Amino acid sequence: MSTRSILMIATDTGDAGVYVHSDGYPDGDYGRLAVYSKIIERDGVDKFRATILAGAEFGGWSSIFGEDNPNNHLGTDRAKSVPGYGVRYLDADSYLIRPGDDLYDSGAEYIYHVAKDGTITWAEVNSRAYSALTWNRFSA
């Protein structure tokens, strides 16, 4: 079973997030904290933020591993491989998550936030309310 997560991005109009289906654990070599920080270091925070938010158009991301050639196991009718990032859905409605939304509706176990300067914080989703979460700062 997948460990779902939300990847929130700081924007000029407030925080906006996307659903990420697979492997949402924060720690380890392939944990979200390591993967997201490596992509930001490689591409810069502005490209990272824009690429991730583009995934909200059709329901979010199946996976984000930062691979050069991600394997699209869902097929081209359901998803698109995004080189250097992961597999983005193509077959769902737009799904942009905002801080006022009920976090339990997403089924996410973890939530990550990327600030405009690239700082990453994360929290376990243990409350319906974004404002009630206990945030942890990531440092590489």
Q: What is the pLDDT of residues 23-44, one digit of tens each?
A: 888 987 778 999 999 999 999 9
CA distance 14 to 98: 8
Count structural domains, the chain: 1
Global pTM?
0.93
**Domain range for 60:** 5-137
Mean of pLDDT values over 117-135: 95
Confidence grade of residue 140 (pLDDT, cut at 50, 70, 90): low
Contacts of 95 (CB under 8 A, 6+ apart): 18, 19, 56, 59, 60
Mean pLDDT of all residues in the chain?
Answer: 93
CA distance 12 to 72: 32
